[in-house]
Amino acid sequence: MNALPRASIAQSGGLASLESWVSEVAALTRPDRIHWCDGSETEYRHLLELMQADGTLLPLNPQTHPGCWLHRSDPDDVARVEHLTFVCTREQEDAGPNNHWMAPAAAHAKMDALFDGCMRGRTMYVVPYCMGPIDSPLARCGVEVTDSPYVVINMRLMTRMGAEARARIEREGAERAARGEPGDVFVRGLHSLGELDPARRFIMHFPEELAIKSYGSGYGGNALLGKKCHALRIASWQARQEGWLAEHMLIVGIETPAGETHYIAAAFPSACGKTNLAMLIPPEAYREAGWKVWTVGDDICWMRPGPDGRLWAINPEAGFFGVAPGTSAASNPNALATIQRDTIFTNVALTEDGQPWWEGLDDRVPATDWRGRPFDPANGPAAHPNARFTVSAAQCPSYSPHAEDPQGVPISAIVFGGRRATTMPLVFEARDWTHGVFVGATMASETTAAATGQVGIVRRDPMAMKPFCGYHFGDFFAHWLAFERPSVHLPGIFHVNWFRKDERGAFLWPGFGENLRVLEWIIGRVQRTAEAIESPMGLLPADGALRLDGLDMSAWDERRLIAIDSEDWAAEVHSIQSFFASLGDRVPPQLKNQLPPDHNAG
């Protein structure tokens, strides 16, 4: 059977039915079997049994971790591969210097040559899914075709997958056809494990076609196409066209002793504490006073102005794909409680009695490492630094009762932050919306193990979207600025840095649950009850405005937490100027004007 021309797969449009597209993909990939996923418990159990039988999944201790499994990925397939991830727009300039670009025709040709016959001897799974509550007007649907049952079971936990999603896709398609509207009603995603050969591994995005093609990787961010590929790279393009925001942000609700809940959207690069903040447990004194924290989402946030002018947000995901190392009873008790049952662990170590283990969990010594070898410290960490857990968000003890509200939750504040040992203070507030967009556009962070490459290098990561924005950053910043209009009541924008260090390399701030002290000041600023002082970066907490009682911290360290070093700030300004220059002439002049007068030329 001959492969179909590349255009028929990616450009079939809204007139083609879902079934027709799946038939075209099958003609190209030539699987032995096709299975349409319904998302049922029966289907899930069957896939688990299938993967246990072929060794893809290992059951964990049923007494301590019922319903939990371990997956070990190929050692060369353990993280996102940004250098192999492309945005394929008709015009290269639209993808921007922040993305790797390939012409759509060339990208389709390259990918279709890889996909040609790649599913012989395999089952092709058709996975309809909905990103967001199934009845939410903010939600969007997709279909992933894959030959990986590991992807299927993860997509079941991470999205609203199956019959209901397919019904929504078919309903929306019929409604659009009745209105005479062309175009897709769902994102088309084609994925194959291929040979898991790093030399034959590519993740291609076609935002103008609402299409994704991924080959040669089984790792979450490369293979679970509903996650970063759809929910950020493709959705960011859709959001600009439709007037909303698709962001790499957690959503957390902070309930005050007065019974008011303020929802905060916060952007941090991967492995910089998003999940910990989303599931924060208040310090004892705060709990006794009546403070509560509600988890809506830990990674992705879709926001749109509502009828009342406020930004309303949903978490498009249904589960957590969290970093395991560092998760413990001390750092994130809620996450640890969440993953005690019905969880898929990837690339963690095992104890002698079959329990999952990773660095930072406790002081036990594991029996086998993430590759299945007897543990030997000479081989490196027992668990891979980017080891993951996949679990339903509904299992989280702090899961918000409003997380599934179709209209979403109203956002009171937006917080940006990164991992910076120096330069950035613990917290500051942007002076206004334009300055806040500048703060987000210029944020930087030290790289982590969530992506391939060297760890610990400071790089610009605007809005934590450097690996995920589906178009030119300059246009992305302009889209953010466009929300400032009379009909929209915008939230305040803040920046935090939990990771500032002293001259000995020790963290100045205790972090974890104590971060609520900073969120309290942020809420106070939103309510205009907390005091602040001006600084070159923005508005800093005034003396005594941050509650620090009960912390083992000297007055000197308190001052250093929010101090701004003039030399550091001057170097930061020069770095920002260079970053803007690297993006060319699409950077909005409003952002360049936020630089000091002697630095904003060009």
Active site residues: 272
Q: Strand 160-161 and strand 123-131: pairing?
A: antiparallel
Residue 219 marked ligand-binding: yes
Residue 514 marked ligand-binding: yes
Measure the CA–CA gap between 14 and 476, rounded to whole angstroms.
Answer: 27
Residue 53 marked ligand-binding: no
Measure the CA–CA gap between 214 and 196, rounded to whole angstroms.
Answer: 11
Residue 353 marked ligand-binding: no
List 247's β-bridge partners, or say none: 301
Residue 334 marked ligand-binding: no
Residue 592: which of 480, 441, 416, 418 has the closest Cα?
441
Residue 386 marked ligand-binding: yes
Residue 270 marked ligand-binding: yes
Task: Give residue 551's identity as a one-letter amino acid code.
Answer: L
Burial per residue of 462-499, b for 16 or more beta-carbon CB atoms within 10 angstroms, e otherwise: bbbbbbbbbbbbbbbbbbbbebeeeeeebbbbbbbbbb
Residue 228 marked ligand-binding: yes
List 189's β-bridge partners, or say none: 144, 212
Tokens read off for 73: 């990925």
Residue 388 marked ligand-binding: yes
Q: Are 119 and 13 in contact (CB under 8 A)?
A: no
Element (H, E) at 187: strand 186-192
Residue 559 marked ligand-binding: no
Cα dihedral across residues 301, 541, 419, 571: positive or negative: positive
Measure the CA–CA gap between 393 and 299, rounded to whole angstroms.
Answer: 11
Residue 289: which of 260, 258, 264, 262 has the closest Cα?
258
Residue 473 marked ligand-binding: no
Measure the CA–CA gap between 248 and 167, rounded to whole angstroms.
Answer: 28
Residue 503 marked ligand-binding: no
Residue 346 marked ligand-binding: no
Q: What is the dihedral of CA 552, 558, 562, 565, to 10 degrees?
A: -120
Residue 243 marked ligand-binding: no
Q: Which residues contact 180 (CB under 8 A, 6 or more apart)?
A: none
Residue 272 marked ligand-binding: yes
Q: Which residues contact 317 (CB under 8 A, 6 or more apart)?
A: 131, 158, 159, 226, 227, 231, 297, 299, 300, 393
The angle at the Cα of 514, spanning 513 to 518, to the nearest 5 degrees, equals: 120
Q: Are 87 and 233 in contact (CB under 8 A)?
A: yes
How many helices (DSSP H) and strands (DSSP E) are in the chain? 18, 29
Residue 220 marked ligand-binding: yes
Residue 80 marked ligand-binding: yes
Residue 513 marked ligand-binding: yes
Q: Are 253 and 261 in contact (CB under 8 A)?
A: yes
User: Using H for helix, E for strand and C for coil, what is the string for 301-315?
Assistant: EEEEECCCCEEEEEC
Q: Say which DSSP state 3 is in.
A: P
Residue 276 marked ligand-binding: yes
Count Cβ atoms within 10 A of the Cβ of residue 157 and give its class: 0-12 exposed, 13-18 middle, 19 or more buried.
buried
Q: Count the alpha carbons within 13 Å of 185 in the hemisphere toward its beta carbon.
A: 24
Residue 273 marked ligand-binding: yes
Q: Which residues contact 35 (CB under 8 A, 6 or more apart)?
A: 123, 124, 125, 126
Binding-site positions read: 80, 219-221, 228, 248, 270-276, 299, 386-388, 419, 512-515
Binding-site positions for Mn(2+) read: 228, 248, 299
Binding-site positions for GTP read: 271-276, 388, 419, 512-515
Binding-site positions for substrate read: 80, 219-221, 270, 386-388
